[in-house]
Structures are given as C-alpha cells and as structure tokens.
Amino acid sequence: MRFVHETLCQRVVFAPGSAAEAVHDEVGSSRVMLIGTRLDVPAVLRWDEVVMHVPVAVAERARAAAAARQVEVIVSVGGGSATGLAKAVALTTGLPVVAVPTTYAGSEATNVWGLTANGRKTTGTDPRVLPRTVVYDATLTATLPTELAVASGLNALAHCVDSLWAPRADPINAALAGEGIRALMAALPDDREQMFYGTYLAAVAFASAGSGLHHKICHVLGGMFGLPHAQTHAVVLPHVLALNAPGAGGRITLDELQDLRRRVDAPRALRDYGFEEDQIPAAVEAILPVVPDNNPVPVNAGNLKQLLHDAWEGTR
C-alpha cells in the first residue's frame, strides 16, 4: 500500500426539482454569466454559443464578453460542452464556476480542461477550472433523449473503467470506480438520479487517476475528426476493455459490458458518426505518442490500428 492520493475540494449539492434555488444560494447577488441552457437565475450575461470540444475562438469570445460585463461568477447549465466552456473562461480569468449538469459527462467534478484548435484537442489540469459547486437536479434530464442518455452514461462508465489503469490509479480510485460501475450499470438508462450519483463517483475517480488509454484515444478522435464526445466514448470503451481487461481488477468484465450495451442499445460503430476508415492511420500516428507508459498491455501501431478498425466497423 504505497501510493499518493489527491482529493479535490468541491461542494456538491443534490437538489432534485430545485436547481434554480440551489444555484441562487450559491451565487447570491454576484454578477452571473449564465452559459448554456436557460435557468431561472438572474444574470448580467447569458451566453448560448456552446460548441463541442470547446474551440479556442469560442473560448476567447466568451472570455472577452465576461470581462466586458464584469462577471463575478460563471454558472454553466448543460452537458460537457457547457461545462467545458465555463472552465475555459475560468482558466484565464480565475472566476469561480457553479456547474449544473444535464448529462453524465462528469466534467463538473474534475479539474481537467480541454480546448481544440487546428484539429487537435489539448487538455490539461488546473485548480482554477474545478467548479466551486456542482448542483445535481435529475429533473433537468427529463428532456434528455434516451439515446443520448445511454451514450452519456457509457461515457461516465468509461471514466470508471479508465480510472482502474490510469497513470495515478490507486486503491481509493478503484473503490470509487467500483461503486460507480455498480451504480451506473444498475441505473442505465432510466434512473436519472442514480445516474448522477454514479457519474459523480466516476468523475472523482477519474480526476484523481488521470487519463488512461481510453481517454487518450477519444480525445484524439474528437479533436482531429470532430466526432461527438459521448458517442465516441460509448463505442470505443468495449474495445479498450478487451485490450486492457487484465487491468480492470475484476470490477467489470467484457461480457458484463457487452450485456449492458445490448440491453440499452448502445452506439456501436465510429463510422456511424463520421469517422472514415482511411482516417485510421492518422489517428494511430497521433495516439501512439500519448499512450500512458503504465498501460497494463503494451500498445503498438498494430494492436492500436486493429482496435480502431474494430471500433470503426462496430465489431463485437
């Protein structure tokens, strides 16, 4: 038992049916920038330009607007793209963020930021981007289509699974990830409150453990080829688990994941989301340099190319 574990400091509020009131309690009379879906919260700036993978140009426009309106706190309401934009503004301004998720992206519980420019997604960690408070209100997911709930929930599950072999994996992260796996697999796709519970555990484990092979692959695919975030994670996860199964510690098996995917009719193939077969070599070239050194199975051009081809084709 020799390891170093870091726990991030954050306030988490579960407020079913009362997100607006909970947010008001957190921000008081501060000058609010509201990013994403409208919520009944007074704001000096309402910002609805939210783009997947947070292009740098969008972040710069949001930062300029926040400065011009003398914003004091950012409230993000929406999925990972809304949270990601709030983080991008916080990264350079130091403004506190109150995150109100409406999907299971999990970004709200991490200090990870991501920005995309020239077809390449850059990620990093910074304490300034960790939301000061997260408000979970499952009623806000009422209009989330089942298909997207499934993809987003599998994205949350990927945070758990990747945490089992990520660069800073440790027994505490494994315990959080194990409970997150249990909650998410039982709740998908309809128990939205339990989904938020599992999502939070998954994100806390991921924030501490870091990005493993799965996330390195998906960040490249999203940044280079503009693939949708949640669906990409949902498609790629079983293929990474098939490769890395010895590192999962028995907390989830490939058969269990495949059974879940059949039950919820999960996204199956990257080609369904615009990824072309002839793009695989470029993806392999971009992924190989960022493969974590401690991945439980050696990764080379051959097995990575096969993994991506299987994910493109939708091979079981």
pLDDT tens string 194-213? 999 999 999 999 999 999 99
51 within domain boundaries: yes
Q: What is the residue-averaged pLDDT of the chain?
A: 95
Give the CATH number of the domain where residue 34 resides. 3.40.50.1970
DSSP secondary-structure letter at 247? G
On whether both 131 and 206 belong to a single domain, the answer is: no
How many distinct structural domains can be found in the chain?
Answer: 2
The pLDDT score that the predictor gives to residue 245 is 87
256 vs 251: CA distance, rounded Å: 10
pLDDT for residue 83 is more than 90:
yes
Residue where one domain finishes, among candidates 89, 117, 141: 141
pLDDT for residue 249 is more than 80:
no
| 115 DSSP β-pair partners | 122
The pLDDT tens digits for 270-293 are 999 999 999 999 999 999 999 999
Give the CATH number of the domain where residue 248 resides. 1.20.1090.10
- DSSP secondary structure letters along 32-57: EEEEES--S---SEEE----TT-BHH
On whether both 103 and 116 belong to a single domain, the answer is: yes
The pLDDT score that the predictor gives to residue 238 is 97
5 within domain boundaries: no
On whether both 212 and 116 belong to a single domain, the answer is: no
Map residue 263 onto helix, strand or coil: helix
Question: Are 244 and 213 spatial neighbours (Cβ–Cβ below 8 Å)?
Answer: yes
Please tell me the least confidently modeled range out of 39-53, 185-199, 245-259. Answer: 245-259
84 vs 121: CA distance, rounded Å: 12
Full-model pTM: 0.93
Residue where one domain finishes, among candidates 85, 117, 141: 141
On whether both 162 and 308 belong to a single domain, the answer is: yes
On whether both 277 and 168 belong to a single domain, the answer is: yes
Q: Which domain holds residue 58?
A: 11-141
On whether both 137 and 162 belong to a single domain, the answer is: no
